[in-house]
Amino acid sequence: MRAWATLLTKTSYLQGALVLQHSLVQHGTKYPFVVFATEELPEDARDILRRRGIAVRDIDYLEPPKEQRKELDEHDRRFADTWTKLRVFEMAEYERLVLLDSDMLCVRNMDELLELPLEEGWIAAAHACTCNPRKLAHYPDDWVPENCGHTSAVRTTPLPHTSFSKPTHTRLNSGLVVLRPSLDTFSRMLSFLHTDPRVSTYSFPDQDLLADFFEGRWLPLSYRYNALKTLRYCHSPMWRDEDVKNVHFILKKPWYYQLPESDPDAELHAWWWDAFDKLQASWGDEPGWSVIEATVNRDIRRPELQ
């Protein structure tokens, strides 16, 4: 069995997961969508998912032992739950999964990812963008455009793993990962999480661990499958709207922020809102829409949702 999978630990990303699943269906996927959820996900959210035909798979929360945990500052706190994404590797009832973040939007069919030839013990993922276009002080010093894997891409052809020449080229973005679940792989990953001294230094928890754990064993994917919204302007020679298959709304989420037209992310955020409107139109008399509506910000004056 093969499927798309996303993690939910709270209702605040429920709207994202529903829009993502609906967009996959709208673009003709033949594969199911599964949410793997911790016990913190409330029952009303679970009911909504099941009524939409989405399987819910219970998993346990995951984090490193206390001595391996980095002290989280305000920038890192948003990544606190992301260790739990690694639980996707223990879902061994599936032959193949594509792990997706809930802040994504499918804009073209990408079923080929679930049929992609993948060597045993390998994963596939797109490069992390290591340009740091917003000059965030807490990002690594070597995150500059000339060191970014996407800078060396030729439109939809990514930098191949055989051409990695800089440490930053080994960094992947874990928003989308093609993988073969395996209890043995997950067991070794847990051992890494508990014992490898690098874990306590990670700024991007699951992402950094996957890059190091699968070093030399990850297949670079085109940006089009994990099109970080910032790539549209910081890698404009590579980006083409007509190439993109899946947009990743990193940083500000479209459902929390109403952006002015002058904002460089405004047009892509409008894509998400169009998909949200299509989701609402598909809802009909099904109960639960008020739960979804309560998680989005249609009014720029509602800062409590931000």
pLDDT per residue as tens digits for the range 3-56: 999 999 999 999 999 999 999 999 999 999 999 999 999 999 999 999 999 999
- Quote the number of domains for the chain: 1
In a 3-state reduction of DSSP, which class is residue 11? helix
Token digits of residue 114: 């679930």
CATH number at residue 197: 3.90.550.10
* SS3 sequence of 243-302: CCCEEECCCCCCCCCCCCCCCCCHHHHHHHHHHHHHHHHHHCCCCCHHHHHCCCCCCCCC
Percent of the chain with pLDDT over 70: 93
Q: Give the confidence band of 66 by pLDDT, cuts at 50, 70, 90.
A: confident
pLDDT of residue 61 exceeding 70: yes
Q: Measure the CA–CA gap between 298 and 295, rounded to whole angstroms.
A: 10
User: Could you list the residue range(s) of the whole structural domain that residue 38 is in?
Assistant: 2-305
pLDDT of residue 303 exceeding 60: no
Picking from 289, 222, 225, 299, the residue whose alpha carbon sits closest to that of residue 255 is 299
pLDDT score of 140: 86
Residue holding tokens 């963008």?
129
Q: How much is the pTM?
A: 0.93
Q: For residue 167, what are the CA distances in angstroms to 23, 97, 111, 211?
A: 35, 28, 31, 11
> Is residue 28 within 8 Å of residue 109, measured between CB atoms?
yes
Picking from 249, 244, 281, the residue whose alpha carbon sits closest to that of residue 266 is 249
CB contact set of 81 (below 8 Å; sequence gap of 6+):
7, 9, 10, 61
Q: Measure the CA–CA gap between 156 and 49, rounded to whole angstroms.
A: 34
pLDDT score of 79: 58
- Outline where the chain has alpha helix (H): 14-26, 43-51, 183-195, 205-213, 231-234, 266-283, 289-293
> Is residue 257 within 8 Å of residue 299, measured between CB atoms?
no
